[in-house]
């Protein structure tokens, strides 16, 4: 699923590739998917989109949002976006397919679960969407040490570092995927309790959070995700399903995987001790 870095990469590519393209056909929900969430009736998406021209692309949290006049088209979580050249075949199954006047197309298919929202500006509620749009992104200079400290509860009690970073949308778009390398570079086990962190630990975590996300974005996203053209990202993940069971790059210990807080966590037992 694309997270903060991938949404930034895809939105940039969409801005460079799709702006100025006029929509001649659009269909949503042609291949029903139980865990695809649409805003309103997907059968009406064609009426909203046909004859519109893409004029903008932006990213916030895990969302990629395209604009076409007053119409907004937003994709999040497992809703992938693929640009299709005029001569290329369209996917047999899709949750949204848009055809452009020049013969190219845009398809979205959902892996596991995802959101595809098409709506007129101002016609979308929902705390997740608006919370993501209004939150300060780690890519923003306003996301500084003071702001990071404000995200930490005054009495964290049994809260872990994974719970802080990847639950309750404290940092929209920072999910279980990008979390792994941030914690590895910080030397912190995902289950490490916040109460055990010194100020130095917290400052190191803050620095690695910012720097790791920048590396992931600047290298075209993670190698476990695809961009607008179906290419894997250039950032080689240290901890992911790809590296489970392989030797740690720093110490040689075997990378482990455990289920924790609704998803798998990957860690090196030597470099990320559970204190």
pTM: 0.95
pLDDT in tens, 184-236: 999 999 999 999 999 999 999 999 999 999 999 999 999 999 999 999 999 99
pLDDT in tens, 48-70: 999 999 999 999 999 999 999 99
220 and 183 both lie in a single domain: yes
- Residue 275 inside a domain? The answer is no
Q: Is the pLDDT of residue 125 over 80?
A: no
Q: What is the mean pLDDT of the chain?
A: 96
Name the pLDDT band for 167 (thresholds 50, 70, 90). Answer: confident
Question: Mean pLDDT, to the nearest integer, of 16-39?
Answer: 97
Q: Could you tell me the residue range of the domain that residue 94 belongs to?
A: 4-134
Among 134, 163, 198, residue at a domain's last position: 134
152 and 67 both lie in a single domain: no
231 and 255 both lie in a single domain: yes
- Residue 273 inside a domain? The answer is no
Among 99, 134, 169, residue at a domain's last position: 134
199 and 117 both lie in a single domain: no
User: Higher pLDDT residue, 111 or 218?
Assistant: 218
pLDDT of residue 120: 95
- Residue 160 inside a domain? The answer is yes
| For the chain, percent of residues with pLDDT exceeding 70 | 100
pLDDT of residue 224: 96
Task: Give the CATH number for residue 259.
Answer: 1.10.8.50
Name the pLDDT band for 157 (thresholds 50, 70, 90). Answer: confident
pLDDT in tens, 247-272: 999 999 999 999 999 899 999 999 99
Burial of 158 (0-12, 13-18, 19+ CB in 10 A): exposed
Which tokens go with 103? 């013969």
Which tokens go with 89? 């075949």
- Residue 139 inside a domain? The answer is no
162 and 103 both lie in a single domain: no
120 and 32 both lie in a single domain: yes
Of 122, 165, 183, whose CA–CA distance to 4 is shortest? 165
Q: Is the pLDDT of residue 10 over 90?
A: yes
Q: Is the pLDDT of residue 126 over 80?
A: no
Q: What is the dihedral of CA 6, 7, 12, 15, to 10 degrees?
A: 140
Q: What is the dihedral of CA 119, 222, 90, 129, to 10 degrees?
A: -10
pLDDT of residue 45: 98
Among 134, 166, 191, residue at a domain's last position: 134
149 and 195 both lie in a single domain: yes
256 and 162 both lie in a single domain: yes
Query: How many folded domains does the chain comprise?
Result: 2
86 and 185 both lie in a single domain: no
């Amino acid at each position: 699923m694309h997270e903060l870095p991938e949404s930034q990469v895809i939105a940039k590519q969409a801005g460079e590739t799709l702006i100025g393209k006029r929509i001649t056909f659009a269909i949503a929900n042609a291949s029903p998917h139980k865990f695809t969430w649409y805003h309103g009736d997907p059968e009406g998406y064609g009426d909203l989109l046909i004859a519109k021209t893409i004029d903008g692309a932006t990213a916030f949290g895990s969302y990629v949002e395209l604009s076409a006049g007053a119409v907004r088209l937003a994709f999040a979580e497992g809703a992938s976006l693929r640009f299709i050249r005029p001569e290329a075949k369209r996917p047999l199954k899709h949750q949204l397919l848009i055809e452009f006047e020049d013969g190219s197309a845009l398809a979205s298919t959902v892996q596991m679960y995802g959101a595809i929202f098409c709506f007129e500006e101002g016609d979308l509620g929902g705390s997740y969407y608006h919370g993501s749009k209004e939150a300060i992104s780690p890519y923003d200079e306003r996301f500084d040490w003071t702001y990071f400290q404000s995200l930490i509860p005054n009495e964290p009690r049994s809260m872990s570092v994974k719970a802080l970073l990847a639950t309750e949308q404290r940092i929209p778009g920072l999910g279980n995927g990008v979390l792994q390398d941030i914690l590895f570079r910080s030397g912190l086990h995902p289950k490490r309790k916040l109460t055990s962190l010194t100020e130095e630990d917290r400052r190191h975590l803050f620095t690695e959070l910012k720097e790791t996300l920048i590396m992931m974005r600047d290298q075209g996203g993670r190698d476990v995700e695809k961009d607008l053209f179906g290419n894997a990202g250039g950032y080689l993940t240290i901890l992911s399903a790809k590296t489970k069971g392989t030797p740690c790059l720093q110490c040689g210990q075997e990378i482990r995987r455990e289920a924790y807080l609704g998803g798998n966590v990957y860690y090196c037992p030597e470099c990320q001790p559970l204190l």
